[in-house]
Amino acid sequence: MAIKKTTIVGQSFPRVESNAKVMGAAQYVDDMQFGPNLLHGRLKRSTVPHAMIKRIDVSKARALPGVRVVVTGQDYPGLTGLYLSDRPTFAVDRVRWVGEPVAGVAADTPELAERACELIEVEYEELPGVFDPEFGASGAAPLLHPDLMDYAAVPFIFRQPGTNISNWFKVRKGDMEAGWAEAAHIYEHTYRVPHVQHVPLETHVAVAQVDGNGKITLWSASQSPFAQRNLIAKSLNISHSKLRVITPYIGGGFGAKAGVSMEGACVVMALNAKGRPVKLAMSRAEEFHTTFVRQGLVAKIKMGMTADGRITAMQNTYYWDGGAYTEYGVNITRAAGYSSTGPYFVPNVHADSLCVYTNHPVGGAMRGFGMPEIHWAIEQHIDRMATQLHLDPVQVRLLNCLKEGQETVTGMIMHPTGLSQCIAKAAEALDWETPSKPSGTGKRRGKGIAAMWKAPAMPPNPGSSSTIRFNEDGTCLVNIGGVDMGQGALTIAAQLAAEGLGIPIEDVRVNTVDTDYSPYEWQTVASRLTWSMGNAILRAADEAKTQIIQMVAEVWGEDPQDLDIIDGNVVSYATEESVPLKNIVVYGMQKPDGTWAGGPVVGKGRFMPTYVTPLDAETGQGPRAVVHFTTGAQAVEVEIDEETGEVQVLKLVSAYDVGKAINPDMVRTQMEGGAVQGLSTALLESIILRNGQPMNPSFTDYRIATAVDAPVEMVNIIVEVPQDDGPYGARGIGEHAMVPTAPAIANAVRAAVGVEIDSMPITSEKVWKGMKGQE
Amino acid sequence: MKHDITFTVNDESYSIAVESHHNLLRVLREQLVLTGTKNGCSEGECGACTVLLDGEPVNSCLVLGVEADGHAITTVEGLAVDGHLAPIQQTMVELGGTQCGFCTPGVLIASHALLLRNPDPSEAEIRAGLVGNLCRCTGYVRIVDAVREAARMQRTSVSPIP
């Protein structure tokens, strides 16, 4: 069958829900009304980073009038976790980070709940802590999880008995001795990335209620309604059918709202609330260090290059600061392992990616899932080596970047990719060869580039599904289990359904998620919805379309091959007859003999990748580590003030191979938003932890980029080399947009003033000190 | 302790009793159920709760409910006139200035206030005018575009009403 030209896919429609958002009418969890019997939850949190709990006395809290529920870890000792079940809902016996919940209170007002938390007495016996992942991985560190080997876990993580290492991903590829021998130049260096926070503008919030039949409903600002249902049901040992998760609009996620963090505590309180709904909302301070943070990283890179810039060998060690619980972080470690070389062909690799328990906040998924962190190291390293060898950083990247048919670090054969194009186009758009003049005296300018790759990081078999139902007037409802957290999933779903069905996009409505009515979706993470959920939607559309066409063909006495649906009408290429979808998609059609054909049209579709293979535990090698990689590059120009060390990003070019842009303008808005989030982490952000105590959990002390920090000029370039397993060839773009930003800026800073910044963020102080050090 | 206050919100008059310690944000969201105005930090840092108080933008989390007595408040729900979007709302939709939408109400109010003060702001003035409104999704690019375009629409009297 010839590929038809698309009419809706590839068009830049505005977001389908934007009117509700600009009118203040879009409902988020905190906007939902639960009536006057709503209880307000609050968590009593650990004040110490590592201790045994000697005693918890809740009697004074319980005695406070208006306090309805008090729960502790003794009441609900089950463990949970996405990949490794190591996390209790409330601490049992031991606390492992400052902010860990030790008790929960629900009361008539938020003020009473807060007062009750203050009245709970907890006596700790403090233990030595682990505040550095490299130390944590050593034999000298105290053990934070003596029961590590007893926790339930997925089969693709590798724990080390008697250590704090909850996953160790190893790559042993090629011949390292030969690789070093072939190199004309070998350079070794250590880079660091601090903890940062996602900072969704909406903090985590959940409401839970139990009805008379014991059915629990959880309204949750979540990227993962189905994963929350799964993990909470399992941790409470209840049936999945007894738990319903509803997710309306959510105010950003960036990974923070993936998996489960505080929602289980809300459910546990509701189970004790005698049918009253319980709301648990995180304060901004709590958001900064008690749900999820991006893990810290210590990255040691050793690279060999020939005199003309070809990479001969890489030896990388990544120590991930996983925090108190690594239930989610173990898979970031794995992703960093199977992506450990960056987007380059490297024949000889020795890589170790270690997830290490520390007494720091819990590390979780954040936009990029380990890739911004490892690229901070790799992309600076390759740039420095290019300079050391008097080579052009763009040419070195073009020489080494992965091309179709080459082996990745895990032995997978690279699929068609536009990586070379992205690097070349980004450099060209920045006018790479031509230096530009500073805006005045005391200012210096520089240009930098960084490339990237990222695969959807997930289990081998995360599923998607979708259903499409028609209404009497020919419009349809698309049900999905994926969440629109701002990235545009509802709009992409509408476009794919409309294109697949042959109806106008105005005739498609996409519903937000209710696990009792929406079809299954693993999680809204890994930039996987457009790709995976998109495939399921196209299959649902195809099934619905087939039902319609077969009915009409039967009634008209035609061959279904001659019929199509165009702009909401079934048309016959043979007879030029036409009938609108209105009515027939619900009531069916009457045949010439007076009997009927058809019935209410319901299309269903599902998609699950079935082709990902396991990797060898000792070598990290296997035929197909991941489904595919999205690749790209960013190039930036900065200007630095010699007096203050302040870095201003003047121009930022992004170029990504998205396979096929379903909605090109929304691809560009992902590139812009991701780049500024990347810029913000590069220049401003760090959760300052002193012996486990968070020092800056507020917007006053933890700055994120504002409108004046955003680049003066941004250029977004879409490259489209189709992906064979993507809808219309599409790949994800959401996370990728911030992966190369920080190293690109660091490389530009080095080009401008010769200062090398090993440790993110690139503060004015560090740049200024670096410049002073040169004098 | 409760206090009786009378104030207007989006041109409608309200006489209600408010707790002395409740901020205006809580009064709007919980008592008037005007939930368009969002709570992003409760500390006056993020701008998600921005409303107009007698035409001036304020963080409603830093204003006590009782302080609104006798004043006129405009929230995001009051920007559209007779169901027709204001220019800044239209351009935010058309130019893609909203993603998750949580900062959007505050951004709209701050932008509206900026355009009331300065009908022809430069790019730098737009950015400075939005410095108190944090957005984590958009990178501000489309928001700045939307303000510039709304200003142009208003100056050239392109009717926001089709």
| CATH code of residue A513 | 3.30.365.10
Cα–Cα distance for residue pair A551/A558, rounded to 1 Å: 10
The per-residue pLDDT for range A101-113, each reduced to its tens digit, is 999 999 999 999 9
* β-pair partners for A637: A447, A651
Residues A467 and A383 in one domain: no
Residues A551 and A634 in one domain: no
Residue A177 forms part of a structural domain: no
Least CA distance to B139: which residue of chain A?
A: A673
Q: Copy the structure tokens of residue A639.
A: 């200007």
Give the pLDDT score at A344. 98
Residue A100 forms part of a structural domain: yes
Chain A CB contacts of B84 under 8 Å are none
What string of DSSP letters covers A362-430? PB---TTTTHHHHHHHHHHHHHHHHHHTT--HHHHHHHHB--TT-B-TTSPBPPS--HHHHHHHHHHHT
- Domain tally, chain A: 3
Residues A389 and A508 in one domain: no
The per-residue pLDDT for range A584-628, each reduced to its tens digit, is 999 999 999 999 999 999 999 999 999 999 999 999 999 999 999
What string of DSSP letters covers A542-606? HHHHHHHHHHHHHHHT--GGGEEEETTEEEETTT--EEESTTHHHH-EE-TTS-EE--S-EEEEE
Contact state of A706 with B96 under an 8 Å Cβ cutoff: no
Cα–Cα distance for residue pair A567/B71, rounded to 1 Å: 52
Contact state of A710 with B108 under an 8 Å Cβ cutoff: no
Contact state of A22 with B46 under an 8 Å Cβ cutoff: no
Residue B43 CB burial class (10 angstroms; 0-12, 13-18, ≥19): middle
User: Region A196-206: what's the mean pLDDT?
Assistant: 98
Phi, psi of A440 (to 5 degrees): -175, 180
List C-alpha distances in Å: B102 to A21, A194, A773, B150.
8, 27, 44, 20
User: Region A440-449: what's the mean pLDDT?
Assistant: 98
User: A496: closest CA among A534, A526, A540?
Assistant: A534
What is the CB neighbour count within 10 angstroms for residue A145?
Answer: 20
Residue A377 forms part of a structural domain: yes
Residues A477 and A546 in one domain: yes
Residues A452 and A573 in one domain: no
pLDDT of A287 strictly over 70:
yes
Domain range enclosing A531: 18-26+462-607
Contacts of A203 (CB under 8 A, 6+ apart): A281, A282, A283, A284, A286, A287, B40
pLDDT band at A246 (very low <50, low <70, confident <90, very high): very high
Contact state of A200 with B100 under an 8 Å Cβ cutoff: yes
pLDDT band at A2 (very low <50, low <70, confident <90, very high): very low
Residues A473 and A443 in one domain: no
* β-pair partners for A87: A80
pLDDT of A343 strictly over 50:
yes
User: Reduced to 3 states, what is the DSSP secondary structure of residue A487?
Assistant: coil
User: Region A272-283: what's the mean pLDDT?
Assistant: 98
Residue A150 forms part of a structural domain: no
pLDDT of A7 strictly over 70:
yes
Residue A78 CB burial class (10 angstroms; 0-12, 13-18, ≥19): middle
Residue A141 forms part of a structural domain: no
Contact state of A18 with B76 under an 8 Å Cβ cutoff: no
Residue A192 forms part of a structural domain: no
> Looking at the whole model, is its pTM more than 0.90?
yes
Residues A238 and A93 in one domain: yes
pLDDT of B160 strictly over 70:
no
A318 membership: H or E segment, kind and range? strand A311-323
The per-residue pLDDT for range A401-417, each reduced to its tens digit, is 999 999 999 999 999 99
Q: What is the mean pLDDT of chain B?
A: 96
Give the pLDDT score at B156. 86
Cα–Cα distance for residue pair A393/A406, rounded to 1 Å: 21
Under a CB-based contact definition with an 8 Å cutoff, are residues B126 and B148 in contact?
Answer: yes
Residues A686 and A670 in one domain: yes
Phi, psi of A636 (to 5 degrees): -135, 150
- Cα of first residue to Cα of last residue in chain A, in angstroms, is 69
* β-pair partners for B81: B84
Give the pLDDT score at B35. 98
pLDDT of B157 strictly over 90:
no
Residue A716 forms part of a structural domain: yes
pLDDT of A711 strictly over 60:
yes
Residue A55 forms part of a structural domain: yes
List C-alpha distances in Å: A218 to A186, A703, B81.
55, 32, 36
Of A250, A284, A677, the CB nearest to B136: A677
pLDDT of B159 strictly over 60:
no
Residues A542 and A412 in one domain: no
- Reported ipTM: the value is 0.97
Under a CB-based contact definition with an 8 Å cutoff, are residues B103 and B110 in contact?
Answer: no
Residues A468 and A445 in one domain: no
User: Region B67-96: what's the mean pLDDT?
Assistant: 97
pLDDT of A761 strictly over 70:
yes
User: Region A352-362: what's the mean pLDDT?
Assistant: 98
User: Region A257-262: what's the mean pLDDT?
Assistant: 98
What string of DSSP letters covers B86-134? PHHHHHHHHTT--SS-SSHHHHHHHHHHHHHH-SS--HHHHHHHTTTS-
Start-end of H helices in A141-259: 176-182, 225-236
Residues A508 and A544 in one domain: yes
Residues A579 and A562 in one domain: yes
How far B138 CA lies from chain A's nearest CA (Å)?
Answer: 4
Contact state of B38 with A251 under an 8 Å Cβ cutoff: yes
Chain A CB contacts of B131 under 8 Å are 706-708
Of A250, A698, A707, the CB nearest to B100: A250
Domains and CATH numbers, chain B: 2-78 (3.10.20.30), 87-155 (1.10.150.120)
pLDDT of B162 strictly over 80:
no
